């Protein structure tokens, strides 16, 4: 076993992990506040990628700038899904919520299939070809930038949740919906903000990852699975858990890809999911926002 190869795997996994963290923070935010699992999370992220592709090919906008627009667009999508659909069934039995979100996932994935076709796509960025050598291993500059921006965005989200009034209300509602109702919070508005921000996370994450990850409509499922792996490991609803879990799962997948042949890489993710489900810890970092 070549130690350089392992080191390279860890490093590229870690850098990719920034995007995973951002994606998982979005999922855990939605779950923490509403107790609704966003099955369409990966598919929403794929839409972020395709929006970046459109902005790049039609408007010549670099994805490292376009991510702001993608986040805004996905915020609107998240808001619409929450206001139009999820809002009506927040108190319904869990199966109903699961089926609804499965429906949303089906629609989003196959709309992408109809609109963009099944062929893998990739977004060009000015940074795509640049690399830097760090001792024995090399780093794509694109990966580095993706990582940096994703981490900054995650930190910004923390600041939003812990330092602003709206953010504090969201966290309070996550802790105790009933209590929030009693003190007069507009819970529907909090839900809308949470779902919107959660979706905006994958909008940005999708755009940021689009120059370094070839994607197609079916990519949504593997991203969803990765998100589930991360938030279950980190503890459903835990922001810190989602952040650290994102880095962990990304490194694990990256190492898995070093040791396994490419066609078995997915096997690793799904096997990981089964193991995590069965030995589901209470989460590495508790359960609460």
Partner 1 sequence: MGPWLWLAALAVLLALPAVLSGYVVTIFILIFFYGFLGQAWNIVGGYTGQLSVGHAAFVGIGGYTAAMLSIEAGLTPWIGMFIGGALAAVLGAIIAYLGFRFGLRGFYFVLLTVAFAEVCRILASNIDAIGGALGLYITFTGNPRQFQFQDQRAYYYVALALMMAATGVVAVIERRRFGIYLTAIREDEAACEALGVNTFKYKMLAMLVSSFLTGIGGTFYAYYLFSLQPSTVFGIPLSVEIIIRPIVGGAGTLLGPILGSFILTPLGELSRSYFGQGGMYGVHLIAYGVLLIAVVLFLPHGAYPYLTRLFGGRPRA
Q: How far is the CB of 157 from partner 1 (least distance, A)?
A: 23
Q: One symbol per residue from 66 to 95: x for binding partner 1 (CB under 8 A), - otherwise; what is it? A: -------------------x--xx--x-xx
Q: How far is the CB of 111 from partner 1 (least distance, A)?
A: 6
CA dist., res. 25 & res. 201, Å (int): 8
CA dist., res. 256 & res. 260, Å (int): 6
Tell me which residues in 111-140 interact with partner 1 (CB under 8 A).
111-114, 117-118
- Residue 103 lies near partner 1 (rule: CB under 8 A): yes
Alpha-carbon dihedral sign for residues 85, 87, 91, 94: positive
**Which one-letter DSSP state was computed for residue 226?**
H
* Neighbour-count burial for 1-31, b at 16+ CB within 10 Å, e otherwise: eeeeeeebbbbbbbbbbbbbbbbbbbbbbbb
- Residue 282 lies near partner 1 (rule: CB under 8 A): no
Cα angle, residue 14 at apex, residues 122 and 133 outer, rounded to 5°: 80
Of the candidate spans 18-26, 144-152, 196-204, 258-266, the one that interacts with partner 1 by CB under 8 A turns out to be 258-266
For residues 28 and 125, which CB has a smaller minimum distance to partner 1 in the complex? Answer: 28
Applying CB under 8 A, which residues contact partner 1?
37, 85, 88-89, 92, 94-96, 98-100, 102-114, 117-118, 217, 221, 225, 228, 263-264, 266-267, 270-271, 273-274, 277-278, 280
């Amino acid at each position: 076993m070549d130690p350089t190869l392992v080191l390279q795997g860890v490093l590229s996994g870690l850098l990719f992990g920034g995007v995973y963290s951002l994606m998982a923070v979005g999922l855990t935010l939605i779950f923490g506040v509403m107790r609704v699992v966003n099955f369409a999370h990966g598919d929403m992220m794929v839409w972020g990628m395709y929006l970046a592709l459109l902005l790049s090919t039609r408007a010549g906008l670099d994805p490292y700038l376009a991510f702001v627009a993608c986040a805004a667009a996905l915020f609107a999508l998240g808001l619409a899904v929450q206001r139009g659909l999820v809002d009506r069934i927040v108190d319904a039995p869990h199966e109903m919520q699961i089926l609804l979100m499965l429906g949303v996932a089906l629609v989003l994935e196959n709309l992408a299939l109809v609109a963009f076709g099944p062929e893998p796509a990739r977004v060009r960025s000015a940074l795509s070809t640049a690399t830097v050598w760090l001792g024995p291993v090399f780093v794509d500059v694109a990966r580095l930038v993706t990582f940096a921006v994703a981490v900054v965005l995650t930190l910004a989200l923390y600041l939003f949740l812990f330092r602003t009034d709206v953010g504090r209300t969201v966290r309070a509602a996550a802790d105790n919906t009933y209590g929030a109702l009693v003190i007069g919070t507009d819970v529907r508005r909090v839900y809308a903000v949470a779902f919107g921000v959660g979706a905006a996370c994958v909008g940005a994450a999708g755009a940021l990852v689009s120059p370094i990850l070839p994607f197609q409509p079916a990519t949504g499922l593997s991203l969803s699975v990765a998100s589930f792996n991360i938030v279950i490991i980190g503890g459903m609803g835990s922001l810190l858990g989602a952040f650290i879990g994102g880095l962990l799962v990304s490194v694990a997948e990256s190492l898995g890809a070093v040791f396994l042949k490419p066609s078995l890489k997915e096997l690793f993710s799904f096997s990981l999911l089964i193991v995590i489900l069965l030995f589901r810890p209470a989460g590495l970092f508790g359960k609460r926002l």
